[in-house]
Amino acid sequence: MNKIFTPKFIFVASALVIAAFSRLIPHPFNFTPIAGMALFGGALLSDKKLAVAIPLVAMFISDIFLGFHDQMLGVYISFIMISFIGFWVSSNYSAGKIVLASLSSSLLFFLVTNFYCWLIYPMYTKDLAGLISAYTLAIPFYSNDVFGSFFVNTILGDLFYTSALFGAYHLASLKFPVLVKA
């Protein structure tokens, strides 16, 4: 069998594509699989280039249907950085490490995407006060839903999808031990 297309690779890549397409079904604002996908790919794909590329491609394909926007580069940069957190998770991952990685990813996404907004939008002065303003003004965007807030939707969404992806892999690997092999 091809060294790349192992059962583990096929399972992980398929899970990432399914997660990306879950963005297309109705869901609460900011309750998305983005961070979970990046963590999962980073942690379980042994080829680190593919660990970054596959979640990005899956995300891009779903963005074709959802529409492109001027903040996409910031989102994709945060996605790549979250994959690096997944690399850290890959060595001896545990439930606690995965939860910590998910929480860190939520915070990283907020910091990176809003830093990017500060960079690209002329409404913000390019100094510390402008950066603080960008972060402060971003907070209301995390409460666009009846149940929405940064803590409810973003953090719980990240924890949900991260748990679902890692949990599905764990359960599948118990049933099919061949998935554990790189």
- Per-residue pLDDT of 32-53, as tens digits, reads 888 899 999 999 998 999 999 9
Tally the domains of the chain.
Answer: 1
Question: Quick check: is 34 in a domain?
Answer: yes
Determine contact, residues 37/82, Cβ cutoff 8 Å: no
pLDDT of residue 134: 94
Q: pTM for the whole thing? A: 0.86
Question: Quick check: is 44 in a domain?
Answer: yes
Question: Quick check: is 140 in a domain?
Answer: yes
Question: Quick check: is 53 in a domain?
Answer: yes
Find the domain containing 45 and state its range: 7-176
Question: Quick check: is 40 in a domain?
Answer: yes
Structure tokens at 71: 């903040």
Question: Quick check: is 2 in a domain?
Answer: no
Determine contact, residues 77/116, Cβ cutoff 8 Å: yes
